[in-house]
Amino acid sequence: VKRYGGASLEKGRLDMCLILLRAVQVLVSNDYLRRNQKVLREGKIFETLGGFLRSVDVSQATADEVKELLSEIFNTVIALTKGNRKTRNFLNDMIGYELWGNDIVRILEKSQLSSDALLDRLLSMVFEDDDVSLNLLKEESEKHSDLRRIRNAGALKLVIVLLQCCSTIQVQLDVIEVTTYLTSQNTPNRVSIASFGVLDTVLHRFSSPSLNEVVATKLVELVKVVAEYSISASQLGVVLSLLRRGDSLPSKIRCSMLDAIEKALAPRDGPISFFDMSGKRSGLIAGNAPIIFHLSRGYAFAAWLRSENSTNADLFYIQDDKKTTTSVSISQRGIITARVTTAGVKHRESGGPSTVTVDCALPR
């Protein structure tokens, strides 16, 4: 792949690149081979792919060939990052999804392609789910189905960069609306978006002279949702810079942006830390706040509980060395139930509409 990066992408070279990309996917295709993700990362596979995107010449390739090549590159990145937080962070911090996005925009423009056909693969990267599509996400948001967890927020930056290559404004609006909905209704998604710096990419879109006013209005809504959770001093500086540029942004957009930031900076009370009880790579999410346990034996916590779906939810299930289990669940009617059992025999159960206290000493 590195060898063919600066060359014209003719048929033979395209076939060789596709074979190599698919070979990489096979190398990390199952859990047993997942350790190869680290080997390939340390072998500078991402730097090689980035160099290839920067230098590849697609002038001799057809639109379908370019589409196939970009799809296989995305499939390779999905395979290399799936289930591996360290690799995702490395790709975001050391390589940069935005740089890849700019190179892909160049390739799409030169091939006169839209990014529509690539969006579903990118969304699969964001949610680490091969069955995800933009239409499916729209249906779920309209039906208020169980909220999806954003697994790779860095890939969302790539989605936002490629919005400028969408065939219609409606496609851009659909992507932004789905992202705003999933972010506003799910705190772990806000954490992921904030920690990966997605807000920086969103704010950068406002500097584009070709940004449609309707799209800009929807982007302001996304800015508001993310900024309410977290906005840095540098990001706030970018916002103020945009507000001063009256010639580039319509007054309606600047007023909406100012209102969003004003509400984001308003003082509010809320939990510093929270539990993500999704059941997959979940646990205590503390952000930058230190977690302090004051008890001499065992642990204790106090938390606000909110059910983000319409079904009965098991909040947590803990088992100690003596097979004593403590579980807490919440029903659709908001009834919280705590159960303590030993070897399958229930000891006590309590339930109520608002609060519950569970005595449970766990070994450190």
Q: What is the pLDDT of residue 332?
A: 59
Residue owning tokens 């609306």: 177
pLDDT of residue 32: 66
The predicted-structure confidence for 21-32, as pLDDT tens digits, reads as follows 888 888 888 766
The more confident residue out of 221 and 356 is 221
Sign of the dihedral through C-alpha 336, 274, 92, 240: positive
Q: d(Cα 344, Cα 33) in Å, to the nearest integer?
A: 37
Asked if residues 309 and 146 have their Cβ atoms less than 8 Å apart, the reply is yes
Strands 324-330 and 313-319: antiparallel
The DSSP 8-state label assigned to residue 324 in this structure reads: E
Q: What pLDDT score does 8 carry?
A: 54
pLDDT(228) > 50: yes
**d(C-alpha 103, C-alpha 89), whole Å:** 20
Lowest mean pLDDT among 3-12, 72-81, 125-134: 3-12
H helix or E strand, kind and range, residue 338: strand 336-342
Range with lowest mean pLDDT among 125-139, 315-329, 337-351: 337-351
Mention every residue, 6+ apart, whose C-beta is less than 8 A from residue 232: none
- For 152-208, write each residue's pLDDT tens digit: 888 899 999 998 888 889 999 999 999 999 888 877 788 888 888 899 999 988 888
The answer to whether the CB of 237 falls within 8 A of the CB of 248 is: no
Residue 219 confidence (pLDDT) = 92
Return the DSSP state at 8: B
Over residues 88-116, the pLDDT tens digits come to: 888 888 878 888 888 898 888 888 888 88
155: closest CA among 185, 125, 175?
125
Q: Residue 173 corresponds to which tokens in the numbers above? A: 């609006």
Express each pLDDT in 265-297 by its tens digit: 776 554 445 555 555 555 555 444 444 444 445
* pTM: predicted TM-score of the whole model, two decimal places: 0.69
pLDDT of residue 345: 54
Q: What are phi and psi of 318, to 5 degrees?
A: -125, 140
Q: Give SS3 for 105.
A: helix
User: How many other CB atoms are found less than 10 A from the CB of residue 38?
Assistant: 15
CA angle 192/193/199 to nearest 5° reads 155
| DSSP collapsed to 3 states, 182-196 | HHHCCHHHHHHHHHC
Tell me, what DSSP letter sits at residue 164?
A: G
Residue 263: band (very low, low, confident or very high) from pLDDT cuts 50, 70, 90? confident
CB 324 within 8 A of CB 342: yes
Q: Which two tokens stand for residue 70?
A: 């970009």
Q: Give the pLDDT score at 246.
A: 64
pLDDT digits (tens, 9 = 90+) for 129-157: 888 889 999 888 888 776 788 888 888 99
The per-residue pLDDT for 299 is: 52
Which has more confidence, 247 or 93?
93
User: CB 268: neighbour CB atoms within 10 A?
Assistant: 8
Structure tokens at 239: 């916002």
Q: Tokens 């969003």 sit at which residue? A: 260
Identify the residue with better confidence: 238 or 364: 238
326-to-294, 297, 314, 334 alpha-carbon distances in Å: 21, 17, 11, 19
